[in-house]
Amino acid sequence: MCIFARGARATDHDVPDLATERLPVPTLERLLTQALEGSISRGDGVRLHDHMLIEMAELSVQDGLVMQLHVGVRRSTNGVVHASFGPNVGDDISQRTDWVLGLDALLNRVGNVAGLTIVAFTVDESACARELSPMAGHWPALSSALPGGFTTVRTVSPATSIAWSRPPATPTSRPSTTTRVR
């Protein structure tokens, strides 16, 4: 069955180390062959991954899907907690990410394409303010999701942006993780 018939509207990419690189076709074919044979080196595997992020963005253009990037998080950093309780228990830690250089090849390939939405998620408030928000103000396809993932800044023009956020909790609703209950 087609993914659209099942309700798919977006792709979701966990990218611990952000880099994008557009490979020449002969290099791409060589790396794909090595990957399929199981003989690709770690370094070439990283280069292939960096190229494939661009391919995924191009497919999102063709298919009309939103591309979601979750970047710069080391997951399950506490081995004891992970062994005892499994993943997603609060020990995911932000790491430094160079968003400008990391997204350069991807954005220069599809960042100006009408109709494409790339939502970049980070847990690093500094990176959001320093890099992602200005980038989202420049690249039409890029949106940044602020730490916590509850607010998305979508650029209308380079000088104007609109923020959508989760409505505040009401007494009858369950509060979000960003709402303080007194």
CB atoms within 10 A of CB 65: 19
Question: What's residue 173's pLDDT?
Answer: 39
Instruction: Give the DSSP letter of residue 27.
Output: H
Question: What's residue 74's pLDDT?
Answer: 85
Question: What's residue 29's pLDDT?
Answer: 97
Kindly state the tokens that stand for 57: 């963005």
Per-residue pLDDT of the chain (182 residues; tens, 9 = 90+): 577 778 889 999 989 899 999 999 999 999 999 999 999 999 999 999 999 999 999 999 999 999 999 898 888 889 998 899 988 787 778 889 999 999 999 999 999 999 999 999 888 888 888 999 999 999 999 998 866 544 444 444 443 333 333 333 444 433 333 333 33
Residue bearing tokens 């991807």: 106
Closest Cα to residue 158, out of 141, 127, 142, 136? 136
Q: pTM for this structure?
A: 0.76
The answer to whether 57 and 116 have CB atoms below 8 angstroms apart is: yes
Question: What's residue 148's pLDDT?
Answer: 59
